[in-house]
Structure 1
Amino acid sequence: MARPPDRPASPDIPEAVATQRPRWRLQLIWLVPIVAVLIGCWLAVKAVIEQGPTITITFASGEGLEAGKTKIKYKNVDIGVVKSVRLTRDHTHVVATAEIVKDATDMLVDNTRFWVVRPRISGGTVSGIGTLLSGSFIGTDVGKSTTGKRDFVGLETPPVFASDVPGREFVLKAEDMGSLDVGSPIFFRRLQVGQVTAYKLDSDGKGVTLNVFVNAPYDRFVTSNTRFWHASGVNVSLDATGVKVNTQSLVSIVIGGLAFQTPPDTADISEAAVKTQFELFDNFADAMKRHDSIVDTYVMNFTESVRGLTIGAPVDFRGITVGEVTAIYTRFDPVTRQFSIPVEIHFYPERFTSRYESGAAGAGRISRDPRRLSTLLVDRGLRAQLRTGSLITGQLYIALEFFPNAPKAEMNWDKTPPEFPTTPGNLQSLQDSLTNVMTKLNKIPFEAIGKGAQQTLAEANTLLKGLDTEVAPQARDTLVAAQKALDSANSALQPNSPLQQGAGDALSEVARTAAAFRTLADYLERHPEALLRGKPEDQK
């Protein structure tokens, strides 16, 4: 820069040199907003990078859901939050839109389940009590599928077990639900080892299908021949053996439940596969019944009353159950105009075996031909008979027994099913005997006998009257005379009476005479010659 002309030069003051400022120079004041923008961009990029997926969950109701507050949790760890809650277009459901953390992206697979956790009481269990203070949240159960998914349908009730719980699921077929519900317990030897997970009515409406889950390690006791039965409440049965009361536990009495067990004589003990289907029996007795592979059907025609005989009653052979009653009908014979009771049974010929030893020779069915087996037994006198199984309950059962003196009978193979011969029961025989006795008693002329007895009584009454008017006075006089004679005899027998004194003197004379005879006998014994010479005179 040039020095001004009017100012003198000073050696102590340096001269300033002017330089031109560049236009692109950045002012320090702008550094703060630039840094702020950069930080904002970095945070935005980071948020975008770390942002997880957005999902939708459809529920039947929006109870417990609140936008911006309701958390989504897995194992009690937050993995997302509900951002909005809206109704569907048809206003029938609620759609919750939620943001999930990026680390939980791999949890969003096809069979992942969501449900609203709130206080519930179901199947005897109480859950979600903690939400009374913290508020409801959405629970998560991660599936095992590999297919990703973003739109889910929430469960209305929590799943009974999580997907990662070890164990196996099985299917049960039953006629009805009984007192079961989702969460009802399953018992094995009175230990709770599982629960009912779901149920539905069959499409034909003739039964229900239940899904049950048995926890590990108890699931290994479920084999292909395992039997499941209702263990709900107190099971009271009334059959031919009497009254039976059975219960599984106090829990089953209150909320119901199921139980399972494998029959002890089962040969196949291999574990059942997942989703194996089993039949659900009504009680333990039905479940443990032997299920035979060979079943023959017969009809037994009874002419007596079958009151007390029920479907399921046993067919017994010398204490061994060899069949059961399956149906009871009535039949009218137009020829004889009489009614009879046909009883249909299932007969298990395999039980007529020699399996008292494992692998015994000849074990199995006696004859492969049902006709041959039945004909063989009937020819030997085998008959069916109704008998009383319990005097308390009056229940009947059918007994198969040999009656060698029974009338000749044959199997009727022309009917389907074939008809097995029967014989009257003991009670019927007793009734027949009583009927015969009553018939004979009816033939007795009780009326004529009564008239004769009445006439005899009249004659006896007349005789008694004659005795009273004729015989009684004479008998009275005779008794008076006898009394006088007794009085006289009593007077004569008094101690001071003349008769007593005379009798005393006579007895004294008899005594003296006896003494004289005794003296004479003694003398003759000493001097027997006196009988000839006489007694010598005494010398003086």
Structure 2
Amino acid sequence: MTEPGSAPAHAPAARRKGRRLSWIWLVPIIAAVGGLLLVVRVWMEAGPTATISFQTAEGLEAGKTQVRYKEVNVGLVERVALNPDRSGVIVTIRIDKDASSLLQEGTQFWVVRPRLTLSGVSGLSTLFSGAYIGVDPAGDRSKNAAGFATKSAFVGLEIPPEVTQDRAGKRYTLKANDLGSLDVGSPVYYRRIPVGEVVGYHLDKAGEGVDVQVFIDAPNDAYVNEATRFWNASGVDFSVDARGLQMRSQSLLSVIVGGVAFDTVEQRARVAAKADAEFVIFSSEGAARAQPDGVPLHIRMRFDQSVRGLVVGAPIDSYGATIGQVDSIGLELDRETNRFYAVVGATLYLERLGAKTVGEIKEYSGSSLAHPSGKLLTEMIAQGLRAQLRIGNLLTGQLYVAMAMFPDAKPVSFKMEATPEIPTVPNNLDQLQMQINSILTKLDRVPLEALGTELNNLLRGTASLVRRLDTRLAPEAQAMLKQASKSLAAVGGVLSPDADLPASADTALQELARAARSLRELADYLQAYPDALLRGRPQDAPPTRQPTRQPARQ
């Protein structure tokens, strides 16, 4: 039997065996601690994530597509999924910790793919490496900049920006009536040197024009000031003047893809324009360099003749100078005559007449050209100021409106209104047409049918008379011709050398010569003895022959 005091002797040995811990348990503990430390390190070194919305995920692949800034890898696409309404995709990216400052307000993201634009070809490297997401950060590039605002949700661009936000220069807005041949990437020229490009365009708020955004690179943006004027330099500008045919263009590229040019026309203090300043873009260089139009004066004109060939924009000419343009062309009905007439609306720019003329206008009409009193215009119309349609191009038949003085014009009553009506006169062609119509009207009144009948009767009588002359007078005329032939033959016989008439004529001529000689001797005698006419010739004196005196030759 066991003694009662023996059990306590074995108890301490059992307790010592249960407290022993095996060293093998240290391995998983160390591994767990190391893994936890590694996870903490990775979590601490991992950069932030962000989501980008695109319309399509073309070329994007989770775990492969990179995020690049200045061609440096700064992140990776982790996930690509549809957005809740399935109108696009949401791309989740993770940015490296040292590039976390890129995730700020204003940063732009886009997918870089091969693109062909007016400015060239871009993204060719993606043909081999695949598409990637480009980054254009905004604001201060320093991650410790004051006021740094992070952002985790962005809307990606479907088209890469033409100008990155770190590009030095300024943006300007050009107001145009229409876009013309301009497009994103069209060059901007200053003195025929490219200094910028068109970066965008959109309709204005009213939808009546186009706002074109251009970017001028530094330091060339300093040449844009308040007096700068922009014009459309697209294509080739042809003009014909006294110097002949002229052709102007900025460059071959502007002929193909369009372009914009600018220059400072007015010579005054040049203050550099601020960014986002607005300018008006002119249609041509000539229009841009023209003198300012000033306050416009709206007028209307009534033409009773056709205005075919007159278009909106046609010039208003005064003695060779363009002082305005046609704004509208319409028809109205004259209730008194029930005839239509053309109403032409136009705008006159009085400041184009020169400072001296404007000063005289202000003396008559007051200091404000916007609300003239009409005194000068009333006097000029009384003296014969009229508007007239004239042909500007014989080939195309285009018309323009000429403002000139016509002293012989009929007097008209004129009343100055908000939109005064300038009296008109028909042009020379219309006057010629009216004269031709008048002549034709008079010719219509001539009884041509009766005259034709009488003329036919006259011709018949003439033909009958000719026949009578042929039948009755022809035999008598033949007899007279025969008698005349006989008479001429007789005269020829008398005048022949063998006839008696030539001999008799010869004898008569000799007698005439002797008689003339005797008369000459008598004259010589009387000249020597003039008293012989009174006393006569002495009878006792024998006849003597006086020597013949030759008359003195003159």
Q: Same fold per TM (> 0.5)?
A: yes
Aligned to 2:3: none
The structural deviation recorded for 1:74 is: 1.9
The 8 Å contact of residues 354 and 364 in structure 1, kept in 2 or not, is answered as: no
Aligned to 2:365: 367
Letter in 2 for 1:419: E
The one-character-per-residue Cα deviations of 1:83-137 (angstroms, maximum 9, x if unpaired) are 3333333333333333323332223321122222221112352111122223222
Q: Supply the distance in 2 between the matched residues of 1:60 and 1:448 (Cα, whole angstroms).
A: 90
Aligned to 1:142: 137
The one-character-per-residue Cα deviations of 1:469-511 (angstroms, maximum 9, x if unpaired) are 222222222222222333344444445x234762585378459
The 8 Å contact of residues 189 and 262 in structure 2, kept in 1 or not, is answered as: no
Q: Supply the distance in 1 between the matched residues of 2:38 and 2:430 (Cα, whole angstroms).
A: 100
Letter in 2 for 1:79: V
* DSSP-derived class of the 2:343 partner: strand
- Are 1:114 and 2:109 matched, yes or no? yes
Aligned to 1:384: 387
Aligned to 2:128: 133
498-507 or 424-433: which moved more? 498-507
- Are 1:410 and 2:405 matched, yes or no? no
- Relative to structure 1, is the Cα distance of residues 375 and 515 closer, same or farther in structure 2, using a 3 angstrom cutoff? closer
1:91-106 pair list within 5 angstroms:
91-106=86-101
Aligned to 1:453: 455
- Are 1:346 and 2:341 matched, yes or no? no
Q: What is the root-mean-square deviation in Å for CA atoms of aligned residues?
A: 4.4
Aligned to 1:482: 484
Q: Supply the distance in 2 between the matched residues of 1:477 and 1:137 (Cα, whole angstroms).
A: 126
* DSSP-derived class of the 2:473 partner: helix
Aligned to 1:277: 278
After TM superposition, the score normalised by the length of structure 1 is 0.78
The 8 Å contact of residues 229 and 265 in structure 2, kept in 1 or not, is answered as: no
- Are 1:73 and 2:68 matched, yes or no? yes
Aligned to 2:314: 313
Q: Supply the distance in 2 between the matched residues of 1:365 and 1:232 (Cα, whole angstroms).
A: 43
- Are 1:325 and 2:320 matched, yes or no? no
The structural deviation recorded for 1:154 is: 1.9
The structural deviation recorded for 1:159 is: 0.9
The 8 Å contact of residues 190 and 262 in structure 2, kept in 1 or not, is answered as: yes
Letter in 2 for 1:277: E
Structure 2: stretches of 5+ with no match in the other structure: 1-19, 141-147, 367-371, 546-554
The one-character-per-residue Cα deviations of 1:216-244 (angstroms, maximum 9, x if unpaired) are 33333433454445444567899xxxx99
The 8 Å contact of residues 234 and 254 in structure 2, kept in 1 or not, is answered as: yes
- Relative to structure 1, is the Cα distance of residues 266 and 393 closer, same or farther in structure 2, using a 3 angstrom cutoff? farther
Q: Supply the distance in 1 between the matched residues of 2:507 and 2:203 (Cα, whole angstroms).
A: 127
Q: Supply the distance in 1 between the matched residues of 2:59 and 2:210 (Cα, whole angstroms).
A: 32
The 8 Å contact of residues 355 and 364 in structure 1, kept in 2 or not, is answered as: no
Aligned to 2:4: none
The one-character-per-residue Cα deviations of 1:377-415 (angstroms, maximum 9, x if unpaired) are 2233222222222223222222222223322223234x6
* DSSP-derived class of the 1:375 partner: helix
Letter in 2 for 1:423: V
Q: Work out which of the residue numbers 36, 47, 53 in structure 2 matches 1:52.
A: 47
Q: Supply the distance in 2 between the matched residues of 1:285 and 1:279 (Cα, whole angstroms).
A: 14
The structural deviation recorded for 1:468 is: 1.3
Q: Supply the distance in 1 between the matched residues of 2:408 and 2:355 (Cα, whole angstroms).
A: 27
The 8 Å contact of residues 60 and 93 in structure 1, kept in 2 or not, is answered as: yes
* DSSP-derived class of the 2:467 partner: helix
1:228-267 pair list within 5 angstroms:
228-233=230-235, 248-255=250-257, 257-262=258-263, 264-265=265-266
105-114 or 507-516: which moved more? 507-516
The structural deviation recorded for 1:204 is: 5.5
Letter in 1 for 2:374: R
* DSSP-derived class of the 1:462 partner: helix
* DSSP-derived class of the 2:374 partner: helix
Q: Work out which of the residue numbers 162, 165, 185 in structure 2 matches 1:163.
A: 165
Aligned to 1:502: 503
After TM superposition, the score normalised by the length of structure 2 is 0.76
- Are 1:82 and 2:80 matched, yes or no? no
The structural deviation recorded for 1:214 is: 2.2
The 8 Å contact of residues 298 and 347 in structure 2, kept in 1 or not, is answered as: yes
The 8 Å contact of residues 196 and 212 in structure 1, kept in 2 or not, is answered as: yes
Q: Supply the distance in 1 between the matched residues of 2:205 and 2:521 (Cα, whole angstroms).
A: 139
- Relative to structure 1, is the Cα distance of residues 301 and 519 closer, same or farther in structure 2, using a 3 angstrom cutoff? closer
Letter in 1 for 2:410: P
Q: Supply the distance in 2 between the matched residues of 1:295 and 1:523 (Cα, whole angstroms).
A: 111
- Relative to structure 1, is the Cα distance of residues 401 and 266 closer, same or farther in structure 2, using a 3 angstrom cutoff? farther
The one-character-per-residue Cα deviations of 1:119-166 (angstroms, maximum 9, x if unpaired) are 111235211112222322222222125422233222111110121222
The 8 Å contact of residues 353 and 364 in structure 1, kept in 2 or not, is answered as: no
Letter in 1 for 2:388: Q
Q: Supply the distance in 2 between the matched residues of 1:527 and 1:426 (Cα, whole angstroms).
A: 91
Q: Supply the distance in 2 between the matched residues of 1:516 and 1:383 (Cα, whole angstroms).
A: 95
* DSSP-derived class of the 1:330 partner: strand
The structural deviation recorded for 1:323 is: 2.2
Aligned to 1:395: 398
419-428 or 502-511: which moved more? 502-511
Aligned to 1:421: 423
Q: Supply the distance in 1 between the matched residues of 2:189 and 2:280 (Cα, whole angstroms).
A: 16
